[in-house]
Protein backbone atom coordinates (compact mmCIF):
# COMPACT_ATOMS: atom_id res chain seq x y z
CA UNK A 1 0.00 0.00 0.00
CA UNK A 2 1.32 3.45 -0.92
CA UNK A 3 1.80 5.15 2.47
CA UNK A 4 1.03 8.55 0.92
CA UNK A 5 -2.43 7.25 -0.01
CA UNK A 6 -2.87 5.16 3.13
CA UNK A 7 -5.55 6.17 5.64
CA UNK A 8 -4.37 8.28 8.57
CA UNK A 9 -4.59 5.23 10.81
CA UNK A 10 -1.74 3.63 8.83
CA UNK A 11 0.52 6.59 9.61
CA UNK A 12 -0.29 6.80 13.31
CA UNK A 13 -1.76 3.45 14.40
CA UNK A 14 -1.42 4.03 18.15
CA UNK A 15 -3.27 7.34 17.98
CA UNK A 16 -5.90 5.87 15.65
CA UNK A 17 -6.42 2.93 18.02
CA UNK A 18 -6.90 5.32 20.95
CA UNK A 19 -9.47 7.32 18.96
CA UNK A 20 -11.35 4.18 17.90
CA UNK A 21 -11.42 2.92 21.47
CA UNK A 22 -12.62 6.30 22.69
CA UNK A 23 -15.59 6.01 20.30
CA UNK A 24 -16.42 2.59 21.80
CA UNK A 25 -16.74 3.85 25.37
CA UNK A 26 -20.08 5.71 25.00
CA UNK A 27 -21.82 2.61 23.63
CA UNK A 28 -20.45 0.46 26.41
CA UNK A 29 -21.69 3.08 28.88
CA UNK A 30 -25.23 2.77 27.52
CA UNK A 31 -25.32 5.39 24.77
CA UNK A 32 -26.43 4.61 21.22
CA UNK A 33 -24.64 2.02 19.16
CA UNK A 34 -24.05 3.80 15.86
CA UNK A 35 -20.54 3.04 14.67
CA UNK A 36 -19.81 0.59 17.49
CA UNK A 37 -19.00 -2.39 15.31
CA UNK A 38 -16.96 -0.32 12.90
CA UNK A 39 -14.96 1.11 15.81
CA UNK A 40 -14.40 -2.42 17.13
CA UNK A 41 -13.18 -3.61 13.74
CA UNK A 42 -10.78 -0.68 13.43
CA UNK A 43 -9.56 -1.30 16.97
CA UNK A 44 -9.07 -5.01 16.22
CA UNK A 45 -7.01 -4.26 13.12
CA UNK A 46 -4.90 -1.62 14.79
CA UNK A 47 -4.24 -3.77 17.85
CA UNK A 48 -3.15 -6.55 15.49
CA UNK A 49 -0.84 -4.16 13.62
CA UNK A 50 0.62 -3.00 16.95
CA UNK A 51 1.24 -6.62 18.00
CA UNK A 52 -1.51 -6.84 20.64
CA UNK A 53 -3.05 -10.05 19.34
CA UNK A 54 -5.01 -10.87 22.50
CA UNK A 55 -6.81 -7.51 22.48
CA UNK A 56 -7.34 -7.74 18.72
CA UNK A 57 -9.07 -11.09 19.21
CA UNK A 58 -11.05 -9.69 22.15
CA UNK A 59 -12.33 -6.77 20.04
CA UNK A 60 -13.51 -9.10 17.26
CA UNK A 61 -15.17 -11.40 19.82
CA UNK A 62 -16.92 -8.40 21.37
CA UNK A 63 -18.23 -7.36 17.95
CA UNK A 64 -19.54 -10.86 17.23
CA UNK A 65 -21.22 -11.07 20.62
CA UNK A 66 -22.78 -7.61 20.12
CA UNK A 67 -24.13 -8.69 16.74
CA UNK A 68 -25.62 -11.76 18.36
CA UNK A 69 -27.37 -9.69 21.03
CA UNK A 70 -28.83 -7.56 18.25
CA UNK A 71 -30.01 -10.69 16.46
CA UNK A 72 -27.70 -10.15 13.50
CA UNK A 73 -26.61 -13.31 11.73
CA UNK A 74 -23.83 -12.37 9.35
CA UNK A 75 -20.53 -13.95 8.47
CA UNK A 76 -18.66 -10.71 7.93
CA UNK A 77 -16.84 -11.02 11.24
CA UNK A 78 -15.21 -14.26 10.19
CA UNK A 79 -12.97 -12.30 7.84
CA UNK A 80 -11.98 -10.08 10.76
CA UNK A 81 -11.48 -13.08 13.08
CA UNK A 82 -9.03 -14.73 10.70
CA UNK A 83 -6.56 -11.89 11.21
CA UNK A 84 -5.82 -12.25 14.96
CA UNK A 85 -6.23 -16.03 14.76
CA UNK A 86 -3.46 -16.14 12.15
CA UNK A 87 -0.92 -14.91 14.69
CA UNK A 88 -0.74 -18.45 16.12
CA UNK A 89 0.41 -21.09 13.61
CA UNK A 90 -1.55 -23.61 15.68
CA UNK A 91 -4.76 -22.04 14.35
CA UNK A 92 -4.13 -23.09 10.73
CA UNK A 93 -6.86 -25.74 10.84
CA UNK A 94 -9.25 -23.27 12.52
CA UNK A 95 -8.61 -20.76 9.72
CA UNK A 96 -9.19 -23.38 7.03
CA UNK A 97 -12.42 -24.40 8.79
CA UNK A 98 -13.55 -20.76 8.76
CA UNK A 99 -12.62 -20.60 5.07
CA UNK A 100 -14.97 -23.55 4.59
CA UNK A 101 -17.73 -21.56 6.27
CA UNK A 102 -17.03 -18.61 3.98
CA UNK A 103 -17.04 -20.89 0.94
CA UNK A 104 -20.00 -23.03 2.01
CA UNK A 105 -23.74 -22.78 1.52
CA UNK A 106 -24.05 -19.79 3.87
CA UNK A 107 -21.85 -17.72 1.56
CA UNK A 108 -24.68 -16.46 -0.62
CA UNK A 109 -27.35 -16.20 2.06
CA UNK A 110 -25.86 -13.75 4.53
CA UNK A 111 -24.63 -10.21 3.94
CA UNK A 112 -21.00 -9.18 4.27
CA UNK A 113 -20.58 -5.61 5.38
CA UNK A 114 -17.49 -5.35 7.57
CA UNK A 115 -14.23 -5.97 5.80
CA UNK A 116 -10.68 -5.37 6.96
CA UNK A 117 -8.98 -2.26 5.57
CA UNK A 118 -6.90 -4.72 3.52
CA UNK A 119 -9.73 -6.92 2.20
CA UNK A 120 -7.28 -9.34 0.58
CA UNK A 121 -5.50 -10.09 3.88
CA UNK A 122 -7.92 -12.83 5.05
CA UNK A 123 -7.57 -14.63 1.71
CA UNK A 124 -3.76 -14.46 1.94
CA UNK A 125 -3.90 -15.79 5.49
CA UNK A 126 -6.24 -18.59 4.43
CA UNK A 127 -3.85 -19.59 1.63
CA UNK A 128 -0.92 -19.55 4.06
CA UNK A 129 -2.81 -21.69 6.58
CA UNK A 130 -3.94 -24.08 3.85
CA UNK A 131 -0.38 -24.50 2.63
CA UNK A 132 0.83 -25.37 6.13
CA UNK A 133 -1.50 -28.36 6.53
CA UNK A 134 -1.64 -31.81 4.95
CA UNK A 135 -4.26 -32.04 2.15
CA UNK A 136 -6.48 -34.46 4.12
CA UNK A 137 -6.59 -32.05 7.09
CA UNK A 138 -7.45 -29.17 4.76
CA UNK A 139 -10.29 -31.11 3.16
CA UNK A 140 -11.68 -32.23 6.53
CA UNK A 141 -11.51 -28.70 7.93
CA UNK A 142 -13.20 -27.18 4.88
CA UNK A 143 -15.89 -29.85 4.99
CA UNK A 144 -16.46 -29.15 8.70
CA UNK A 145 -16.78 -25.43 7.97
CA UNK A 146 -19.11 -25.91 5.00
CA UNK A 147 -21.44 -28.05 7.10
CA UNK A 148 -21.82 -25.48 9.91
CA UNK A 149 -24.96 -23.48 10.46
CA UNK A 150 -24.52 -19.76 10.98
CA UNK A 151 -24.91 -20.13 14.75
CA UNK A 152 -22.38 -22.98 14.81
CA UNK A 153 -19.92 -20.88 12.81
CA UNK A 154 -20.37 -17.96 15.20
CA UNK A 155 -19.90 -20.20 18.27
CA UNK A 156 -16.82 -21.84 16.71
CA UNK A 157 -15.31 -18.47 15.84
CA UNK A 158 -15.98 -17.08 19.32
CA UNK A 159 -14.49 -20.15 20.99
CA UNK A 160 -11.22 -19.68 19.15
CA UNK A 161 -11.17 -15.89 19.53
CA UNK A 162 -11.66 -16.24 23.28
CA UNK A 163 -8.72 -18.66 23.36
CA UNK A 164 -6.61 -16.17 21.39
CA UNK A 165 -7.71 -13.33 23.66
CA UNK A 166 -6.29 -15.10 26.72
CA UNK A 167 -2.78 -15.47 25.32
Q: How far apart are CA 8 and CA 110, in angstroms?
A: 31
pTM: 0.71
pLDDT at 128: 94
60 vs 109, which has greater pLDDT? 60
CA-based nearest residue to 53, from 83, 16, 96: 83
DSSP letter at 52 equals -
CA-based nearest residue to 157, from 90, 97, 73, 71: 97
N-term to C-term CA, the chain: 30
Q: Mind listing the pLDDT tens digit for each residue in 83-119?
A: 899 999 999 999 999 999 888 877 656 555 555 667 7
Q: How do the domains of the chain map onto residue ranges?
A: 9-165
pLDDT at 166: 78
Q: How far apart are CA 158 and CA 44, in angstroms?
A: 14
**Are 60 and 40 in contact, with CB atoms under 8 Å apart?**
yes
Amino acid sequence: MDRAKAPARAHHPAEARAAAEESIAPTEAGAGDAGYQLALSITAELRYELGDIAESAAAVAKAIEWSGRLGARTLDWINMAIVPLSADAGNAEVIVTLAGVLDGPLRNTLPFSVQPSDPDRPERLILEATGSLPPEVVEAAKHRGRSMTCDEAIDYTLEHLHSAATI
